[in-house]
Amino acid sequence: MKKLLLLVAVLMISAGAFAQIETPVKWSYAAKKLNNNEAVIFLRATIQDGWHIYSLNVKDGGPIKTSFKFTPSKEYALVGTTSEPTPLTKYEDAFKMNVSYFEKTVTFQQKIKLKSGNLSAIKGQLEYMTCNDKKCLPPEDVDFTVSLGK
């Protein structure tokens, strides 16, 4: 009986080693101070070949759009909305509509007004959905911290 349990345990561990979680997108963050009162936050997605993420501007009924939520603080204020470069657009059968998306890399930008010289980092959460030509992965929420340096 002990040998049988040991065999089952080894098989389960072995199977788990082959089952990998797909993570076709890696995020990186940076900031650049423009002056003592303003900075720009850069949120960059590096996307594996064959995969894509969606634009900030996706119509209702389509995939989950990429979005950013910045943690409110008295030390800074958002200036405008998060911007993106011009996305690719194509008709996707899965959603029965034209959708805008990014492949390989994309850098989103958010301008902020600094209200305090003590602010060392901006925190927030992003949400995005990744698809390829065969499937879509569930939407993912990612917490981020962007250092402002000194």
The predicted model gives 74-99 an average pLDDT of 95
Neighbours of 49 (CB within 10 A): 8
Over residues 95-132, the pLDDT tens digits come to 899 999 999 999 999 999 999 888 889 999 999 999 99
Q: Superfamily assignment of 24-147 in CATH?
A: Thiol:disulfide interchange protein DsbD, N-terminal domain (2.60.40.1250)
Chain CA centroid to CA 113, Å: 23
Give the bridge partners for 140, in sequence order: 128
- In this structure, the number of other CB atoms found within 10 A of the CB of residue 76 comes to 20
pTM, two decimals, is: 0.84
**C-alpha closest to that of 47 among 26, 68, 20, 22:** 26
